[in-house]
Amino acid sequence: MTLRSLYVRNMLRGYDRQLVTGRRLARYTRSLHPAGQDEDARMARDLKRRALVERVAREIVENLILSGSENQVVAAIKQQLNEEFGNSLSFTFPPSEQDLLVFAETPNGPREVAPHEKVQILNRMWQITLDIVDETML
């Protein structure tokens, strides 16, 4: 065996050890941080928070706004709706009706809003409620 072939063999052996060490380090690093685990955990937290915000908002809309309760959150939501739609709005479920009625206060007394206005008001009420709950939730 020549000196040159020994040199090449030693160099290849050293290179092989470096590759094995590199693979071990890569496996060790992957075992510490499974692929996408941080991303998945963050997404799971965000989804749980979003679900909780929607559940609280649904409770506020169904149990407080539509039943006429007056707490600070409900007052803020109604005030913003009144500012955006320009009228004092009231929500009611008449006993003989199954659908929610929305009334706007006018100089001639309350009037029921048109169906397309009602959809806009309810959609906006939902968005405002979501925003307020999201802002105030820790």
The domain locations on the chain are 6-137
Token reading at 94: 């008449």
Distances (CA, A) of 38 to 18, 28, 34, 42: 29, 17, 8, 6
Is the pLDDT at 84 greater than 70? The verdict is yes
The radius of gyration computed from the CA coordinates of the chain, to the nearest angstrom, equals: 32
Token reading at 24: 């071990």
Average pLDDT, the chain: 82
pTM assigned to the model: 0.64
Is the pLDDT at 138 greater than 70? The verdict is no
**In this prediction, what percent of the chain has a pLDDT beyond 90?**
14
DSSP helix/strand/coil, 83: helix
The helix, strand and coil proportions of the chain, stated in percent and rounded to the nearest 5, come to: 70, 10, 20
pLDDT tens-digit readout, 29-72:
777 766 556 677 778 888 888 999 999 998 888 776 766 677 78
How far is it, in rounded angstroms, from Cα 58 to Cα 52? Answer: 10
According to the model, what pLDDT value does residue 131 have? 92
